[in-house]
């Protein structure tokens, strides 16, 4: 009986070896491995390096979606490497999960970074909700930033929800890639001319060139 069992096993093993030796199967196995490998690389690149996304609304006008025609949206190239390395600068246009709704991703501009001091718009919801005086300054906590939309009053941003944890930032907006007339880099503007917030940077305070 044992001999018969060993013989059957050897026969099955021989057939498997013969099947695995068929060129078609080897080619199919190799192709599948390549697809899985490239898919893994593609997913990694989308998650950690960059991706494309369309932007809705007018909170970042005129930088993004400058056309009042809401049927035409800017398609953006997102730099996700900056998020993994926390390479943020004042003036960067970024995407973030808003404190109001973690499922909603918005595009805003970084106005201030941790240890900077800001004086929010006295008309803002943040000032009223927190009982701040008009002109009262606020220090940005560690690991946070202050963000705003370029469209001012058309934007829901830090003027409503205050400093944002850096962990909520998902990418830096690198460029507009569609429509063709809009193709170009999205520049970082540290002066933030459309901001409703006065900012004193931590560098200015440390150098003694600015006094709160």
CB 109 within 8 A of CB 149: yes
| Annotated active-site residue in 11, 40, 51, 59 | 59
Q: How far is CA 149 from the centre of its chain?
A: 15
Instruction: State pLDDT tens for residues 74-118.
Output: 999 999 988 877 789 999 999 999 999 989 999 999 999 999 999
Least confident stretch, 21-25, 33-37, 45-49, 58-62: 33-37
| Annotated active-site residue in 108, 155, 158, 195 | 108
Other CB atoms within 10 A of residue 92 CB: 24
Q: Which long-range contacts (CB under 8 A, 24 or more apart) does 165-169 make?
A: 165/99, 166/86, 166/88, 166/114, 167/143, 168/96, 168/97, 168/98, 168/99, 168/102, 169/83, 169/88, 169/94, 169/95, 169/96, 169/145
Residue 108 a catalytic site member: yes
Helix axes 23-48, 2-20, angle to 10 degrees: 70
The whole-number average pLDDT for the span 148-156 is 90
Kindly state the tokens that stand for 84: 């993994």
DSSP assignment of 103-160 = T-EEEEEEEEETT-EEE--TTSHHHHHHTPPTT--EEPPTTEEEEE-TTGGG--SHHH
Contacts of 161 (CB under 8 A, 6+ apart): 98, 99, 100, 126
Kindly report the pTM of this predicted structure: 0.75
Q: In this predicted structure, what is the pLDDT of residue 61?
A: 92
Q: In this predicted structure, what is the pLDDT of residue 208?
A: 73
Contacts of 98 (CB under 8 A, 6+ apart): 104, 105, 106, 156, 161, 164, 168
């Amino acid at each position: 009986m044992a001999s018969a069992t060993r013989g059957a096993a050897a026969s099955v093993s021989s057939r498997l070896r013969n099947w695995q030796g068929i060129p078609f199967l080897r080619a199919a196995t190799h192709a599948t491995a390549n697809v899985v490998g490239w898919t893994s690389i593609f997913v990694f690149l989308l998650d950690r390096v960059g991706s494309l996304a369309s932007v809705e609304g007018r909170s970042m006008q005129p930088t993004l979606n400058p056309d009042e025609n809401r049927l035409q949206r800017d398609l953006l190239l997102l730099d996700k490497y900056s998020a993994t390395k926390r390479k943020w600068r004042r003036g960067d246009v970024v995407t973030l999960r808003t404190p109001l709704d973690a499922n909603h991703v918005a595009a805003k501009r970084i106005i201030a970074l941790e240890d900077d001091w800001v004086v929010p718009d006295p008309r803002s919801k943040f000032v009223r909700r927190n009982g701040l005086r008009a002109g009262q300054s606020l220090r940005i906590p560690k690991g946070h930033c202050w963000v705003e939309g370029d469209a001012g009053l058309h934007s829901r941003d830090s003027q409503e929800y205050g400093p944002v944890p850096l962990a909520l930032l998902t990418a830096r907006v690198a460029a507009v890639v569609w429509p063709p007339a809009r193709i170009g880099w999205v520049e970082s503007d540290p002066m933030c001319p459309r901001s409703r917030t006065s900012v004193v940077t931590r560098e200015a305070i440390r150098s003694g060139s600015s006094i709160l």
